[in-house]
Amino acid sequence: MRVLVKLGGSLLENLDARAAIAGQLAHLARDHQVVVVHGGGKQVTRFLEKEGVKSRFVNGLRVSDSAVIEAVVSIIAGRVNKGLVAALLAADVPALGISGIDGQLTRAEELNPELGFVGRPVSTNGTLLEILQNAGYVPVVACIAADNEGTIFNVNADEMAVSCAAAYHAHRLIFLTDVPGVKNGDGQIIPNLAFPAAAGLIRSGVAQGGMRAKLEAAIAAIKLGIPQIYIAPGSEVNICGRLLAGEPLGTRISS
């Protein structure tokens, strides 16, 4: 089975956290073909704060001028990506770190001029992911991309994960995050969520902020043909294996 796992930056904060998630991915990679996509927004924010740059967000997206995009490339495609790859190698996973720029894995275009260098994925080369896997590697993708003119963009990691999953023809898309799952209006976790109900949570305003972004990404993934998407807590032991085995953890979203 082809599985794409998207990791939030909060799961990659330190050496212990990276080692824990690497162990989970090692277990998953023994039985399935795995691609990993990761973010690193919190790490970027901390770096910018140390440099005296205040982060500004519009609808959850970081406004990215030239100074910010330099930090995004350095931290997400550099420090975070290589830290995760090193942790995976230590867990005996043959990981290979890339970004959407490398080999023009993902082509992006400007999302909104007011946001600066923020892009949206236009297309992803799933063949490149297959080539790497056929050579024995687990691709670890950082969420930056470029357009045909070479302009580099900061790309939302959830959107990058959907683009990669669709191009790779993933059978499952797993969003591992720092929350236990999707909650209803009463604050209870919803174990199973159909496509129309997910859209309803967005319309009603129950899903906001980061969870709204993940539900929008899940809806986009379903429209692109991915049959099942999970939003689940990355801190749970062997979370990916347990999800694929049918254990009711987090939230499963389907058409």
Q: Which two tokens stand for residue 219?
A: 């809806």
Q: Could you tell me if residue 24 is inside a domain?
A: no
Q: Could you tell me if residue 245 is inside a domain?
A: yes
Confidence class of residue 77 from pLDDT cuts 50, 70 and 90? very high
Q: Which two tokens stand for residue 58?
A: 């519009």
99 and 144 Cβ atoms separated by less than 8 Å:
yes
Q: Could you tell me if residue 161 is inside a domain?
A: no
Q: Could you tell me if residue 29 is inside a domain?
A: no
Sort 189 into a burial class: Cβ within 10 Å, 0-12 / 13-18 / 19+. middle
Q: Are residues 146 and 189 in the same domain?
A: no
- Residue 78 has a pLDDT of 97
Structural domain boundaries, residue 190: 171-255
- Residue 14 has a pLDDT of 87
Q: Are residues 181 and 151 in the same domain?
A: no
Q: Which two tokens stand for residue 194?
A: 């159909």
pLDDT tens figures, 184-201: 888 889 999 987 888 888
What amino acid is encoded at 14 in this protein?
N
Last residue of a domain, one of 103, 122, 156: 156
- Domain total in the chain: 2
Q: Are residues 143 and 60 in the same domain?
A: yes
Q: Are residues 232 and 137 in the same domain?
A: no
Q: Are residues 143 and 209 in the same domain?
A: no
**Domain containing 44 — which CATH number?**
3.40.1160.10
Across 232-250, b (16+ Cβ under 10 Å) vs e yields: bbbbbeebbebbbeeeebb
Last residue of a domain, one of 130, 156, 182: 156
Last residue of a domain, one of 123, 156, 189: 156
Q: Which two tokens stand for residue 19?
A: 């080692």
Q: Are residues 152 and 47 in the same domain?
A: yes
Q: Could you tell me if residue 28 is inside a domain?
A: no
**Is this structure's pTM higher than 0.85?**
yes
206 or 77, which is more confident: 77
Q: Are residues 225 and 135 in the same domain?
A: no
Q: Could you tell me if residue 4 is inside a domain?
A: no
Q: Could you tell me if residue 165 is inside a domain?
A: no
